[in-house]
Structure 1
Amino acid sequence: MIRKSDELLSIGEVSARTGVAVSAVRYYETLGLVPAVRTAGNMRKFPRHAIRRVTLIQLAVRFGIPLSEVGEVFASLPEGRTPNKKDWAKISTAWNQRLEDRKQAIARLQEELTGCIGCGCLSLQTCNLLNPGDELGLGGQGARRI
């Protein structure tokens, strides 16, 4: 008897269950983010946990986490079995720190931009954000960042 957790899904079923285009599921598989097996007829079949992986990939992308980082985190998941709650918790912990770091960087940027927009200097000579202390002016006249 085949357990529901051992059931393999077609690429169309994974697409329908996740709301992700078939081409995206195929792309994730080529990147090694979603495991698939080939049938005798060369059709892709995905384990049920691929649904969770695709959903997590979409969330990661929405939060600005690059697919390369998703791959690094997914590499810690077991290959021979469906990931369990402990496995997913490990991923959550890793991403929480990354998201916290990004949140702090965005807050700093927001502070700097608020000061910049409110400054009104309209001058790169006195801009504390792009040219603090007129460091670029020390190198002489003309463009310094080109």
Structure 2
Amino acid sequence: MENPPWDAHELTVGQVAARSGVAVSALHFYEKKGLIGSRRTVGNQRRYARDVLRRVAFIRVSQRVGIPLNDIRDALAELPEERTPTPRDWARLSSAWRGELDVRIEQLQRLRNDLIGCIGCGCLSLHHCRLANPADRLGALGPGPRRLLTDPPPAS
């Protein structure tokens, strides 16, 4: 696909897909979820403002670090329409997620460190789990792998 001129104000869905590296179907999905927007031509074809490229990049990076789509949509709603976000805009958005990412990093480090001996005390059938979860204390907190969702169990 031919690149749009550098001064083009609107891009076709194919141009956005080619430039962003995101499939057309993903762009349609993002639009359906309210993450990006387009206008329709008289012929009912989508046209995107150039700032959508930055928004798509933000969506992809945010998804890669595990931010839920609803949170991404809420963050993007805070950005001004039809203006390329500034570094200050991105700093404000990313700072809101810093605490959540720190918790996620801690959980991943705990998973990495415990991976050989335990899968988060969700199986409750491995004999080794009795070392990390004696008398199935974590079972009272509900089903599933509890050690990765909450603080580690107290030492025995």
Q: TM-score range by the shorter chain?
A: 0.7 to 0.9
User: Scaled by the length of structure 1, what TM-score is found?
Assistant: 0.74
Measure, in 1, the Cα distance between the counterparts of 2:97 and 2:57: 15
**After TM superposition, where is structure 1 displaced by more than 4 Å over at least 4 residues in a row?**
none
Give the structure 2 partner of residue 88 of structure 1.
Answer: 90
Give 3-state SS (helix, strand or coil) of 2:118's partner.
helix
What residue number does 1:36 align with? 38
Describe how 1:99-138 pairs up with structure 2 within 5 A. Answer: 99-116=101-118, 122-123=126-127, 127-129=130-132, 132-135=133-136
Q: Are the structure 2 counterparts of residues 89 and 77 from structure 1 closer, same or farther at C-alpha, using a change threshold of 3 Å?
A: same
Structure of larger gyration radius: 1
Among candidates 25, 35, 42, match of residue 23 of structure 1 = 25
Q: Which has the higher helix share?
A: 1
Cα distance in 2 for residues equivalent to 1:78 and 1:110: 40
Matched with 1:9 is 11
2:100 to 95, 98, 101: 98
CA distance, structure 1, for counterparts of residue 134 and residue 91 of structure 2: 46
TM-score, normalised via structure 2 length: 0.69
- Counterpart CA distance in 2 for 1:70 and 1:81 is 18
Alignment correspondent of 1:53 = 55
Give 1:92 deviation, angstroms.
2.2
The CA RMSD measured in Å over matched residues stands at 3.0
Indicate the percent of aligned positions where both proteins have the same amino acid. 40
State the partner residue of 1:63: 65
Unaligned 5+ runs, structure 2: 1-5, 120-125, 144-156
What is the total number of aligned residue pairs between the two structures? 131
